[in-house]
Amino acid sequence: MHFLLRVGILLLVCAGGVGCSGQEDARFVDWNKRAPVALPRQEPAITYAYLPQYTHAVSFERHRRILEYLRQATGLPFRQVFPATFAEHMAMVERGDIDISFTNPFVYVLLHHRAGAQVFARAVEEEGGADFQGQVIVRADNAAITSLEDCRGKTWIAVEPTSAGGYLFPLALFHEHGITLDQFARVEFARGVGGKQEQVVLAVLSGAYDIGSIRKGTLDIVARRYDTSAIRVLAETPPYPGWLFCARKDLSPEVTQQVAQALTALRRPKDESILAPAGLTAIIPASHADYRPIEKLMHTLGMETVP
Amino acid sequence: MKRLFSRLSFETKLNLGITTIIATMALTLLPLVVSITKDALLEEHRKRGADIAASLAVRAVDPLLALDFLRLRELVAEPRDVTYIFIQDRAGRILAHSFGPDFPVDLATANHADPQNPMRIQLIDNGMERIDDIATLIRVHDEPIGTVRLGLSRRAASEILDHLVATLMIIFLTGLTLASAAGTLFARTITSRLDRLQSRAGALRQRHLPETSPTLPDPPHQGDEISALEHAFSAMARELDHRMGELLQAQRRLEEQTRLLSTVLDANPDRICLRDTRMIYHAANEAFCQAVGVSKEDIPGRTDFDLFAEDEAERRHLEGRDVLASGQRMERQEQETTAQGSRWFHVIQIPVRGARGRILGLLRMERDITAMKDYERQLIQSQKIESLGKLAGGVAHEINTPLGIILGTTQLLLDDVPADSSMAEDLRTIERHTKACRKIVADLLEFSHASTSEKVEMCFNNSVMEAVSLVRHTFSLDQVTIATDLDDSFPIIYGDPEELKQVWINLLTNARDALPQGGIIAVRTTLLRAESCVRLEVADTGIGIDAASISKVFDPFFTTKPVGQGTGLGLSVSYSIIEKHKGQIQVHSPVPETFPWPVPVDGPHCGPGTLFTVTIPLDHASLEDHHGPHSRPR
């Protein structure tokens, strides 16, 4: 009887102990001490933008170290900005919101003709060097498409109307093979903000479209997140001068000069940590003359450089 | 306390027990359940907040990089069930928040996530409620670009917890109520049964054990229904034990008496049987069973028609019915004739009555009185012989004198006439026949005890052998052989040698007369030490005595011999002599198969034979009590 009583009391004590345990320390915050919050003022800085062919996060990650390098090398304040679309990018350059653009040759030619942007350096990429190519991709198991000619009557998804590797180079390639836009069942462009190269790959992978056009190298980038073994490269475009760094029309030439010097001073392997995230092996000086082939190609495709 | 508890009713105890168990469970388990549930709820609460914060951190990357304040504002305004959300840039500046126009200034620095601790939870107390503040870094790859801060009030969790505790309390209270009700019902069911059991035990005790044994006082009882029931059963058990002991003793006594009665009944030579009112047999003793040829175990259930021939069964059945109908004792003598002979029985039939005088059955006893009947007939015969002897003695005495005169005169006349004359011849004829008449008269006198005898100590065997020697030669001429088998112990008896010799010669002569073609006469003497007597057996292989004659052989003047060859007084005289010696003489014909012949008796001339047995006591005691089944003393 006494034993049972003791056990019962012990159980009650234990249960009470368990029930009362776990008191946490709380930090007091005076809820009545309030103030309006003003949006942070943007400090004056040289704005830098990566043509939004990827998501903002990817764009940020690829060029974050280049910006840090430029800050250190030039002593100038730099800030990366993230336009949502190619059009917004071009509009921001035209408005003067973007001082330095890392952009594709088509956008550059358009910016050059519309807003007076001027190329000062050219990217040397891991694949293709200073030039770059576009690719036409299909699903690996799509037996109906084995050549460019098979693409007639098919649905095509491209990155953007102004995407070099992602649309214009492949368009020129089809043009050379006598395939015009009206011969496709449907031509559509990736929707949304950024990440459009990936969206094209995913659209073809999912079977939503028969063919897709991307910039060469995209498959390696997206291979980190998606299984690209199900993708077959149907054709590659000839190489064209690749991506470039350009300054808006009114940017101080001294600043442009400083930036050009700093960028072209990057060398591998000492600057591997800066160049590699951006997919670059080097940055070389460039001038507008280097991009005449692009202008020619645009003319061939009937694209107007000035609206 | 313990005493008070023990006095409570069982129903109250049961209710108290159930209530205590459930209350203890509630008190023990409720804090545990609440604590565990609270921890689980808080963990889930934090996890949910962390998931929302992580999701917001991912979704805030692009707007944050693009400094798209509108989208950031949309992000912080999106979740509905959080207390607050705000997004800070890398420098900790508020880019968007859900507080409305004013932001709690101190909240911005109240929690801080860093690359080593990318998600940190801090409990914040704002004086009104407690809030879990979750700070999650907004990162691009590993590069932090800002922080999402999310506040989840614990009020909702507390409300859920309070609701849960209330629900648990209600469940426990409901359970307690239901269990108490069920316990009450259960207890009532049990206690009502216990009460019934107790009352039945009491009633049983009252009915069957109306008086409590004085040696077994009831101990006082205190407690609940079970205690009362236990007490009642203990008392009943004690009483039963006591009564059972008495019962066992009574049973043992009864068994002993039954065994004794059975022994007595079985030892009784009378045939005893017990039938019920339907005339069905219930029991019988050994003598009855032997008579009907059925074992004792098979008797119960039988009827007269199962045990006797139809006529006999009918007679017995009707007799029994008459006795049962009249209720009067019936007593009579009846003769039973079987293949073995005729026997007399004294039959008594008594109605067996119960305690209230009602007739329960019928007892029948049959006593064999054949011997008594024989004695009765023998007594009559003895009286007759005695009267006849007296008459013969008187007549003989009267005749003896004239015969003496005739004999004396005849002998005087013989002296007067020439010996070779015809007169002398006639006179010798008169003399011879007169002597014969005197012999007859002398026998008559002997028969009537008129003659005196003189008893002396004598050797029984010598007496027998003298008689045998006397006749052996003569008998051998008639092809009759006498074989003797005499006891070597030379028994001495107290008797009259001459008279006994006359008996032996008479028995031997009768045997020789039964052997017209010759044969064997066996003479056997035996000393019967246990009976203190000596026995002579004379057996022959002769023609035997038929059943009609055997009962008359000792009658005076009874003879089967032709006229002139016997007087019919020999065996009567022998009987008288033996009787005078306090002995017995018996006759059996044919000779029993068990008789040990001294010599082989197989042969074509052998008849059924006759055995005479004479038994004479060594002292002067009478052998009247020693008699066989075929004794025919005359």
**What is the pLDDT of chain B when averaged over all its residues?**
83
| pLDDT tens-digit readout, B472-500 | 888 888 889 999 998 888 788 888 888 88
What share of chain B has pLDDT > 90, as a percent? 19
User: For B266-308, what is each residue's pLDDT tens digit?
Assistant: 888 899 999 999 999 999 998 999 888 899 889 999 999 999 9
Q: Best interface-test mutation with B: which of A12, A27, A28 has the largest number of B CBs within 10 A?
A: A27
Judged by a CB distance cut-off of 8 A, whether residue A41 touches chain B is: no
Q: How confident is the model at residue B562 (pLDDT cuts 50, 70, 90)?
A: low
CA angle A51, A52, A57 (to 5 degrees): 120
CA distance B539 to B507: 9
Cα B469 from chain centre: 66
Q: pLDDT tier at A19 (50, 70, 90 boundaries)?
A: very low
Which chain B residues contact residue A16 at CB under 8 A? 31
* Count of C-beta atoms within a 10 Å radius of residue B601: 18
Question: What pLDDT does residue B631 have?
Answer: 41
Residue pair B32/B164 in contact by the 8 Å Cβ criterion: no
pLDDT of residue A157: 95
pLDDT at B134 over 90: yes
At which residue do the structure tokens 């040759």 appear? A105
Does residue B111 carry a pLDDT above 70? yes
Q: What is the pLDDT of residues B366-402, one digit of tens each?
A: 998 888 887 777 777 767 766 777 777 777 778 888 8
Mean pLDDT, chain A, integer = 87
Query: What's the whole-number mean pLDDT along residues B105-133?
Result: 90
Q: Do A15 and B28 touch (CB under 8 A)?
A: yes
Is this prediction's pTM over 0.80? no
* Confidence at residue B251, expressed as pLDDT on a 0 to 100 scale: 92
Chain A positions in Cβ-Cβ contact with residue B28 (cut-off 8 Å) = 8, 11-12, 15
Residue with tokens 């576009």: A134
**Residue A156 · residue A211 · CB < 8 Å:** yes
Phi, psi of B482 (to 5 degrees): -105, 120
Q: How confident is the model at residue A153 (pLDDT cuts 50, 70, 90)?
A: very high
- Chains A and B form CB pairs within 8 A to the count of 116
| pLDDT recorded at residue B399 | 83
Mean pLDDT value of segment A261-270: 91
Cβ of A23 under 8 Å from any chain B Cβ? no
Q: In 10 A of CB B576, how many CB atoms?
A: 24
The pLDDT, as a whole number, for residue A23 is 60
Query: How many whole angstroms separate alpha carbon B183 and alpha carbon B189?
Result: 9
Look-up of token digits 């426990």:
B172
Question: Which of B126, B129, B169 to mutate to test binding with chain A, by most A CBs within 10 Å of its CB?
Answer: B126
pLDDT the model gives residue B620: 52
Q: What is the pLDDT of residues B217-239, one digit of tens each?
A: 555 556 677 777 777 777 777 88
Closest alpha carbon within chain A to B100: A36
What is the pLDDT averaged over residues B97-101? 87
Per the listing, tokens 């836009």 go with A181
A141-179 burial, b if ≥16 CB within 10 A, otherwise e? ebeebeebebbeebbbbbbbebbbbbbbbbbbbbeeeeb
Q: Is the pLDDT of residue B201 over 80?
A: no
| Contact B1/A at CB under 8 A | no
Q: Which residue has the higher pLDDT, B501 or B147?
A: B147
Contact B287, B268 (CB under 8 A): yes
Would you place residue B573 in the very low, low, confident or very high pLDDT band (cuts 50, 70, 90)? confident
Who among A11, A12, A84 is closest to B66 (CB)? A84
pLDDT value of position A4? 55
ipTM for this prediction:
0.72
Establish how many alpha carbons lie within 13 A of residue A198's alpha carbon, considering only the half-sphere containing its beta carbon. Answer: 18
pLDDT at B623 > cutoff 50: no
Mean pLDDT across B588-612: 84
pLDDT band at B605 (very low <50, low <70, confident <90, very high): low
Mean pLDDT, rounded, for A139-149: 92
DSSP state of A166: I
Taking only Cα atoms into account, the Rg of chain B, rounded to an integer number of angstroms, comes to 65
Q: What's the confidence (pLDDT) of residue B624?
A: 46
What is the residue type of A75? G
Q: Is the pLDDT of residue B162 over 90?
A: no
Task: Give the residue, B565 or A100, on which the prediction is more confident.
Answer: A100
The answer for residues whose C-beta is within 8 angstroms of residue B137's C-beta and 6 or more apart is B57, B113, B114, B115, B118, B119, B144, B146, B147
How far is the C-alpha of B524 from the C-alpha of B483, rounded, in Å?
A: 8
Which region among A267-276, B19-28, B279-288 has the lowest average model confidence (pLDDT)? B19-28
* Residue-level pLDDT at B629: 37
Query: Does residue B633 contact residue B584 with C-beta atoms inside 8 Å?
Result: yes
- Whether B527 shows a pLDDT value over 50: the answer reads yes
Write out the H or E segment, with its range, that includes residue B41.
helix B10-59
CB contact under 8 A, A27 and B123: yes
Strands (E), B217-354: 271-276, 281-284, 330-338, 341-353
Question: What is the pLDDT averaged over residues A253-263?
Answer: 94
pLDDT reading at B625 higher than 60: no
Q: Could you tell me the pLDDT band of residue B432, with boundaries at 50, 70 and 90?
A: confident
Nearest Cα residue in chain A from B165:
A19
